[in-house]
């Protein structure tokens, strides 16, 4: 069942067109990530769904109820949308205990007393927080605060859970754990969750669905694997993964080349340029192999340096104006080497 | 895009906001409007024969006394700025950027003059450093020194300037606190002396706050009343406010139209200053927001001789602007004669205080003052909070209107606001029963204290992170509910601090009640002004002494409650 | 419950008995009072309060007020205001139909006369009227209540004994000849700020030929002007000023008793004396109580009570401290009492005032 339907949402701020017609759907038991660089409009879109910002055009339905309809002039305030929102800063109320923070949403829904207590302790227990119920937020660690914030947003079983950069305030180690348990929790409870993130690995690891935003437009949506391995635009290709961007001109047979080099590849995205026109190619670093000698789609390059990155080595390669990074599991001496790149890994845009 | 109708911004709490802002406009514009209306009549507005006329304007602009008062006021205001701004800046520098010994406990002390009403200060000075003041006499006897007269424009400027140093200090010190200290350290490391550093690095960085403080003090200088009344008037030095106060006597009939014209002329001067302040304030906020984070200043080292010089300067300033006036009042309150050839020990008495207790109006005045300050202060904070919430995160045009309504009373001296409310309570039928009650004074005080009070409240409200409110909204709380359950509980300590500060402001107020005072509405500050016309100096001194005690108690309370002192 | 109720009832009865006894005391009307005066008293009591706007210090008025409360059991709201404030209040409140005062009692005879002419004061034939000098009564509207000669107040330690003026002429001469030594050391009333100051200046102007000479010399000596006698007293006692003229004499005598440094001198050739005047206001909230208070002020008892605080009575036949004999002795018999009459209102003509102040300010600047 579709719990959230967003269609044609547009928002201006001052003269800026921040959202240009975002549309998507999401349903329970899944996580949808809004991924994009800062300024891409992802947080604004989330806040529009929450009702904290108001778009000028578009329509939003939550759980089958229309909460925003530009044509009818309808815009429900946040409290009427039956959502839960986890803030980047957690926004726990400093004057209330953990219990009171979590219980507030129930109080507002007329659930008090024993009933409320059961539900609050139920969710606190689930997240391992029940022993902290009487503490105040400033007596909690960052990870505990985050879990309280999630409890607070979930306790009254909202139709949609919205999370704004939920992991960005955690340190690296906690973050990796949180990716996992938050995903597990959402799947277990069967919630429709939307999260905003600028961190691709977070989106890839947690989401069932990724919406990639650029300048207020959803440029691509799909499963993490689709997004990662079948980018439909240069932006999408470049945004995810660690990449090499090669600048050159289009050549015969889906190839790109420079003054003294040429690589065959696949044309992706909208095909606009003809032969001889400038184009860009994106090659994921992990797709480049260092090989012993020439071959099909092999390129001879100069190895300038080798950087040790712990789990692997990074090679810095040049050929005239062309600079490429590649990975390998052993150090190599500087000097001429050969790079092998499969044509299906050279995504040519232009 | 398409022809579809765009959604209008959702107007939350629109009814509440509009109601509050409408009430505010009513309360602020009524006195202002009444004064402007009155200025275009040829007789008091309640006189049935009054007609529209520019007669009063004609009288005022052709009256050489007006122009001389105007000129004197301008000299006084600029002179005061010239004294207060450099001293305040220096004080701020020493207390915030250097390792001056004892600066922690000095801070509340340097603010004291700000909390004393200028009428109390002026009395204190005349007893201490007047021609027969105990300090003057002592200096004459021991050193053969003769102070120049404080009953001169120069003396008034000096006293006005010294007493306004804290107003400068407040702004400049907060700007200096947010300066990253590495800039100064870099300059010191490259060999600049501490004074060079302050001139070449610190000063340019805090220039906006200096300009703001100058504009504020210029405004206060134009509206000053107590100092010219006590020190200037006997020598015929008249400023605009005392001109207003006296203009009735010159005609022998109520010349409210002439008073109104002078008030309008004052507004014409002060309104641009208020506007400039508003502009500067916005910029200053932006400034503070950029540089404010993590700038934990490492203090500059003064060195032994530097400490000595700095302490000498601060000690001198404190002696002159705190010790002397307070000492003067304290002495005068306990003697019935003083001056040349009078041994104070022969004239010690507590009878002035006994008189305060025995004279019903004076005793009532003390009780009323306390009631207005303590209870009225609490109500005022509640009302300011309501106004503050109406403007809270309100980016619409009504928010801007509210801003201006709050600043407008700043442009009017308290005596004029009091006069306007006297008219309102006299002539608006359903309000007349309230005139002889403290309600009338409370309303006038509320408007006089509006911009100060609201600044404190707004600053407090800004400390609430927006997400905390949004979290309540997304949890299902309406905006009103989120204010009640989240905003107000979080700022409660700030509100208590605001209450203590408003309390002090109401305690020291004297000009507002001049026309509103009657049986049952006596207040200490205004009683002093009215006793001055009948010359009962003993009671004035006793009242002034009590007022200092109350103010000290209020300040102690404020500091204890951790109030953040703004102007 | 019952016991408490009976206690309340009992105390009520006691209060009633107490007030009847006071009523009985008041019943014994002084000679010359009409028989129906008891009705006025009863009405005043039912009004319960009386409100007074006055320029007289509360401390001076207090015995009178206390005695009035004692006698009639009527509360008194005593508003101590400046002379101009009494006037302005009555005018504004009269215009608003919100008169707050029952009695306007002020030293500013001229302002009171204007109030009378503007119809803001009530005509009331006081039973005490026959006991007042003719010059103290205007059309049964404005009643004089005291005779107040002005004096010169000086600091004995600072003003050379040979300089102490005994006459008006000596005062003028002193200022003219020793103006330099006395620079900033002379004080007087400010006619702009104080109604009484203006009245005295007008009287001096009309009754002496030396007024402008005095003003000029005063201005040249950088004389200081104050709104009240008390302010001048403060300055003379402290030595800021050495000599103050046109100070209210009754106060001056009081201060002389209090402070060893204060000397008082009355000019034997010419001493102006004004009267404090009182009237019942039109539209008074407590008209009967106001009338009662006015009569009480003028009664033998009221006048003695005023005298006890240094306010010289004017009631004919009064003997005691500050009686006519004493005042005449002090002033050498040359007291020029300003009569309560219509001419006072001339002082208020705007043209006249503007001209006067222009000349006054010129004189204060030491110019011709």
Strand order in the sheet with A313-319: A288-291, A335-341, A298-308, A313-319, A322-328
The per-residue pLDDT for range B321-360, each reduced to its tens digit, is 888 899 989 988 998 777 777 777 888 888 889 888 888 8
- Residue A29 has φ and ψ, to the nearest 5°, of 75, 20
**Cα-based angle A9, A10, A13 (whole degrees, multiple of 5):** 140
- With a cut of 80, say whether residue B518 has pLDDT above it: no
The owner of tokens 């700022």 is B491
The per-residue pLDDT for range C172-227, each reduced to its tens digit, is 999 999 988 999 899 999 888 788 888 999 999 998 999 999 999 999 999 999 88
CA atoms of C178 and C182, how far apart (whole Å): 6
State the average pLDDT over residues A215-224: 93
Write b or e for each residue in B398-414: b if 16 or more Cβ atoms lie within 10 A of its Cβ, otherwise e. beebbbebbbbbbbbbb
pLDDT of residue B252: 63
DSSP C279: E
**Cα-based angle B217, B223, B226 (whole degrees, multiple of 5):** 105
The per-residue pLDDT for range B263-290, each reduced to its tens digit, is 999 888 888 888 887 777 666 554 443 3
The per-residue pLDDT for range B307-322, each reduced to its tens digit, is 899 899 899 988 888 8
Contact C228 B359 (CB under 8 A): no
pLDDT of residue C50: 95
CA atoms of B445 and B441, how far apart (whole Å): 6
ipTM rounded to 2 decimals? 0.87
Q: How far is CA A91 from the centre of its chain?
A: 22
Which pLDDT band holds residue B293 (cuts at 50, 70, 90)?
A: very low
- With a cut of 90, say whether residue C47 has pLDDT above it: yes
Tokens, residue B48: 């049935």
Pairing of strands A335-341, A16-27: unpaired
The alpha carbon torsion through B549, B553, B558, B561 (nearest 10 deg) reads: 170
- With a cut of 90, say whether residue B416 has pLDDT above it: no
pLDDT averaged over chain B?
84
Cα–Cα separations (whole angstroms), residue A350 to A288, A297, A341: 22, 20, 19
Bridge partners (DSSP) of residue A13 are A16
pLDDT of residue A93: 94
Which residues on B lie below 8 Å from A105 (Cβ)? 475-476
The answer to whether chain B touches chain A by having 3 or more C-beta pairs less than 8 angstroms apart is yes
Measured from the Cβ of residue B351, the count of other Cβ atoms closer than 10 Å reads 13
Which pLDDT band holds residue C21 (cuts at 50, 70, 90)?
A: very low
- With a cut of 50, say whether residue C8 has pLDDT above it: no
Residues from A contacting B (CB-CB < 8 Å) are 10, 50-52, 54-57, 68, 70-71, 73, 75, 77-79, 81-85, 87-89, 91-95, 104-105, 108-109, 152-153, 156, 162
pLDDT of residue C25: 44
State the average pLDDT over residues B123-136: 83
CA atoms of A278 and C26, how far apart (whole Å): 118
Which pLDDT band holds residue A179 (cuts at 50, 70, 90)?
A: very high
- With a cut of 50, say whether residue A291 has pLDDT above it: yes
Q: How far is CA B348 from the centre of its chain?
A: 34
State the average pLDDT over residues B421-448: 88
Crossing angle of the two packed helices A142-154 and A98-108, in degrees rounded to 10:
20
**Burial classification of residue B87, based on how many CB atoms lie within 10 Å of its CB (0-12 exposed, 13-18 middle, 19 or more buried):** buried
pLDDT of residue C214: 93
Domains of chain C: 2-147+275-339 (3.40.190.10), 149-273+345-364 (3.40.190.10)
Which pLDDT band holds residue B248 (cuts at 50, 70, 90)?
A: low
B55: left (phi over 0), alpha (psi -120 to 50) or beta: alpha
The alpha carbon torsion through B452, B456, B461, B463 (nearest 10 deg) reads: 140
Q: Bigger pLDDT: B47 or B244?
A: B244
Contact B341 C157 (CB under 8 A): yes
Domains of chain A: 2-82+158-234 (3.40.50.300), 242-349 (2.40.50.140)
Tokens, residue A339: 């790079």
Measured from the Cβ of residue B189, the count of other Cβ atoms closer than 10 Å reads 9
| Helix (H) or strand (E) run with residue B87 in it | helix B64-97
Which residues on B lie below 8 Å from C242 (Cβ)? none
pLDDT of residue B370: 95
Contact A57 B479 (CB under 8 A): no
pLDDT of residue B170: 84
- With a cut of 90, say whether residue A132 has pLDDT above it: yes
Question: In chain C, what percentage of residues exceed pLDDT 90?
Answer: 50
Cα Dmax for chain B: 93
The per-residue pLDDT for range B100-118, each reduced to its tens digit, is 888 888 888 888 888 888 8
State the average pLDDT over residues A224-233: 93
Contact B473 A79 (CB under 8 A): yes
pLDDT of residue B522: 87
Helix ranges (H only) for B40-63 are: 55-62
Tokens, residue B231: 């020190």
Best interface-test mutation with B: which of C193, C196, C285, C351 has the largest number of B CBs within 10 A? Answer: C193
Contact (Cβ atoms closer than 8 angstroms) between residue C74 and residue C49: yes
Q: Bigger pLDDT: B350 or B46?
A: B350
Contact (Cβ atoms closer than 8 angstroms) between residue B518 and residue B436: yes
CB under 8 Å to A199, separation ≥6 — which residues?
A: A167, A168
pLDDT of residue B59: 86
CB under 8 Å to B103, separation ≥6 — which residues?
A: B94, B95
Best interface-test mutation with B: which of C234, C243, C353, C357 has the largest number of B CBs within 10 A? Answer: C234
State the average pLDDT over residues C238-255: 89
Question: In chain A, what percentage of residues exceed pLDDT 70?
Answer: 100
Q: Which of C257, C237, A141 is nearest to B537 (CA)?
A: C237
pLDDT of residue B506: 93
HSE-up (13 A, CA, CB side) for residue A9: 30
CA atoms of A285 and A339, how far apart (whole Å): 11
Q: How far is A123 from chain B (nearest CA, A)?
A: 16
Domains of chain B: 14-41+77-337+347-560 (1.10.3720.10)
Q: Bigger pLDDT: B394 or B33?
A: B33
Concatenating the DSSP letter of every residue in C46-68 gives HH-EEEEEESS-HHHHHHHHHHH
HSE-up (13 A, CA, CB side) for residue C169: 2
pLDDT of residue C16: 41
State the average pLDDT over residues A160-182: 91
B290 contacts chain A (CB < 8 A) = no
Helix ranges (H only) for chain C are: 2-27, 37-47, 58-72, 83-96, 109-117, 168-178, 195-207, 211-220, 229-238, 249-258, 287-298, 300-308, 324-330, 350-364
Q: Bigger pLDDT: C127 or C193?
A: C127
């Amino acid at each position: 069942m579709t719990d959230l339907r967003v269609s044609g949402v547009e928002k201006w701020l001052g003269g800026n067109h921040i959202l240009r017609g975002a549309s998507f759907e999401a349903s329970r038991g899944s996580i949808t990530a809004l991924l994009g660089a800062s300024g891409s409009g992802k947080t604004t879109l989330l806040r529009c769904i929450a009702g904290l910002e108001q778009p000028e055009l578009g329509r939003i339905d939550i759980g089958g109820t229309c909460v925003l309809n530009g044509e009818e002039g309808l815009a429900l305030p946040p409290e009427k949308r039956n959502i839960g929102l986890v803030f980047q800063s957690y926004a726990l109320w400093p004057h209330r205990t953990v219990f009171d923070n979590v219980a507030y949403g129930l109080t507002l829904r007329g659930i008090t007393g024993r009933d409320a207590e059961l539900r609050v302790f139920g969710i606190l227990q689930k997240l391992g927080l029940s022993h902290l119920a009487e503490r105040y937020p400033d007596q909690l660690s960052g990870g505990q605060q985050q879990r309280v914030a999630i409890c607070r947003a979930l306790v009254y079983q909202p139709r949609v859970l919205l999370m704004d950069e939920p992991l960005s305030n955690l340190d690296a180690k906690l973050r990796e754990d949180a990716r996992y348990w938050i995903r597990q929790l959402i799947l277990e409870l069967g919630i429709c969750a939307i999260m905003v993130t600028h961190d691709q690995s977070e989106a890839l690891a947690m989401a069932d669905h990724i919406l990639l935003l650029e300048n207020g437009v959803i440029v691509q949506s799909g499963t993490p694997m689709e997004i990662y391995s079948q980018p439909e635009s240069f932006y999408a290709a470049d945004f995810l993964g660690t990449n090499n961007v090669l600048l050159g001109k289009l050549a015969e047979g889906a190839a790109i080349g420079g003054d003294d080099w040429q690589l065959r590849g696949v044309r992706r995205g909208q095909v606009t340029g003809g032969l001889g026109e400038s184009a860009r190619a994106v090659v994921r670093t992990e797709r480049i192999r260092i090989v012993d000698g020439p071959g099909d789609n092999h390129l001879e390059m100069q190895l300038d340096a080798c950087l040790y990155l712990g789990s692997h080595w990074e090679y810095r390669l040049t050929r005239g104006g062309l600079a490429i990074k590649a990975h390998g599991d052993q150090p190599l001496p500087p000097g001429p080497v050969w790079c092998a790149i499969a044509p299906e890994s050279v995504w040519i845009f232009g | 895009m398409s022809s579809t109708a765009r959604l209008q911004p959702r107007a939350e709490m629109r009814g509440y906001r509009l109601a509050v802002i409408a009430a505010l406009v009513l309360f602020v514009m009524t006195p202002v409007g009444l004064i402007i209306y009155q200025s275009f009549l040829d007789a008091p507005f309640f006189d049935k024969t009054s007609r529209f006329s520019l007669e009063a304007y004609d009288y005022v602009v052709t009256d050489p006394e007006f122009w001389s008062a105007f000129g004197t006021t301008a000299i006084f205001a600029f002179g005061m700025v010239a004294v207060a701004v450099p001293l305040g800046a220096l004080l701020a520098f020493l207390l915030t950027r250097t390792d001056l010994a004892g600066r922690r406990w000095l801070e509340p002390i340097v603010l004291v003059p700000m909390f004393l009403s200028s009428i109390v200060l002026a009395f204190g000075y005349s007893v201490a450093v007047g021609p027969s003041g105990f300090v003057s006499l002592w200096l004459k006897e021991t050193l053969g020194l003769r102070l120049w007269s404080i009953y001169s424009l120069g003396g008034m400027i000096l006293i006005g300037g010294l007493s306004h140093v804290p107003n400068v200090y407040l702004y400049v010190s907060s700007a200096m606190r947010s300066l990253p200290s590495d800039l100064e350290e870099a300059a010191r490391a490259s060999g600049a002396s501490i004074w060079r550093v302050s001139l070449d690095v610190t000063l340019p960085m805090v220039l906006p706050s200096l300009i703001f403080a100058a504009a504020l003090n210029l405004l206060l200088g134009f509206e000053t009343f107590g100092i010219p009344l006590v020190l200037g008037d006997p020598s015929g030095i008249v400023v605009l406010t005392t001109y207003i106060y006296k203009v009735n006597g010159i005609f022998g009939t109520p010349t409210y139209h002439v008073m109104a014209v002078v008030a309008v002329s004052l507004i014409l001067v002060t309104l641009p200053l208020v506007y400039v302040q508003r502009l500067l304030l916005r910029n200053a906020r932006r400034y503070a927001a950029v540089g404010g984070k993590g700038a934990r200043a490492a203090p500059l080292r003064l060195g032994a001789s530097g400490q000595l010089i700095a302490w000498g300067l601060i000690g001198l300033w404190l002696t002159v602007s705190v010790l002397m006036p307070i000492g003067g009042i304290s002495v005068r309150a306990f003697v019935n004669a003083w001056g040349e050839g009078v041994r104070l020990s022969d004239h010690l008495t507590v009878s002035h205080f006994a008189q305060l207790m025995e004279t019903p109006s004076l005793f009532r005045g003390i009780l009323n003052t306390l009631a207005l300050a303590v209870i009225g202060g609490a109500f005022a904070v509640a009302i300011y909070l309501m106004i503050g919430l109406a403007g809270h995160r309100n980016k619409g045009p009504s928010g801007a209107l509210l801003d201006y309504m709050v600043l407008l009373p700043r442009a009017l001296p308290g005596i004029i606001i009091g006069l306007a409310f006297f008219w309102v309570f006299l002539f608006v039928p359903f309000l007349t029963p309230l005139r002889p009650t403290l309600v009338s004074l409370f309303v006038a005080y509320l408007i006089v204290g509006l911009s100060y009070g609201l600044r404190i409240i707004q600053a407090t409200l800004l400390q609430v992170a927006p997400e905390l409110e949004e979290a309540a909204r997304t949890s299902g709380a309406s905006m009103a509910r989120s204010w009640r359950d989240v905003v107000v509980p979080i700022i409660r300590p700030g509100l208590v601090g605001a209450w203590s500060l408003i309390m002090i402001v109401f305690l020291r107020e004297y000009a507002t009640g001049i026309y509103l005072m009657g049986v049952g509405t006596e207040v200490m500050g205004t009683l002093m002004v009215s006793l001055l016309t009948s010359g009962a100096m003993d009671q004035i001194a006793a009242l002034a002494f009590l007022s200092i005690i109350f103010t000290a108690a209020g300040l102690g309370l404020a500091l204890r409650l951790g109030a953040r002192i703004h102007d | 419950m019952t016991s408490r109720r009976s206690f309340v009832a009992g105390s009520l009865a006691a209060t009633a008995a107490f007030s009847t006894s006071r009523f009985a005391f008041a019943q014994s009307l002084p000679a010359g009072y009409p028989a129906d005066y008891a009705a006025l008293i009863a009405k005043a009591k039912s009004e319960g309060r009386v409100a007074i706007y006055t320029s007289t210090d509360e401390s001076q008025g207090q015995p009178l007020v206390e005695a009035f409360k004692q006698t009639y059991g009527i509360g008194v709201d005593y508003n101590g205001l400046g002379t101009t404030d009494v006037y302005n209040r009555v005018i504004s409140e009269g215009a608003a139909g919100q008169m707050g005062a029952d009695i306007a009692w002020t030293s500013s005879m001229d302002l009171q006369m204007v109030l009378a002419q503007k119809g803001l004061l009530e005509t009331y034939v006081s039973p005490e009227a026959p006991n007042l000098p003719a010059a103290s009564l205007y059309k049964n509207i404005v009643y004089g209540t005291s005779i107040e000669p002005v004096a010169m107040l000086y600091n004995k330690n600072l003003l050379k004994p040979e300089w102490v003026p005994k006459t008006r002429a000596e005062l003028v001469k002193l200022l003219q000849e020793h103006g330099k030594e006395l620079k900033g050391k002379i004080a007087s009333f400010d006619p702009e700020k104080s109604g009484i100051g203006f009245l005295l200046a007008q009287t001096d102007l009309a009754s002496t030929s030396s007024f402008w000479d005095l003003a000029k010399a005063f201005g040249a000596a950088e004389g200081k002007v104050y709104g009240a006698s008390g302010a001048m007293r403060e300055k003379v006692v402290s030595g800021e000023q050495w000599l103050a003229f046109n100070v209210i004499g009754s106060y001056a005598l009081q201060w002389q008793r209090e402070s060893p440094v204060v000397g008082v001198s009355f000019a034997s050739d010419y001493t102006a004396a004004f009267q404090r005047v009182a009237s019942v206001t039109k539209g008074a909230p407590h008209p009967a109580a106001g009338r009662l208070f006015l009569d009480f002020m003028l009664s033998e008892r009221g006048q003695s009570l005023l005298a006890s605080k240094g306010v010289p009575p004017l009631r004919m036949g009064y003997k005691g401290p500050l009686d006519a004999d004493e005042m005449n002795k002090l002033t050498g018999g040359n007291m020029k009492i300003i009569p309560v009459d219509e001419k006072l209102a001339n002082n208020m003509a705007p043209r006249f005032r503007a001209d006067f102040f222009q000349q006054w300010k010129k004189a204060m600047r030491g110019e011709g």
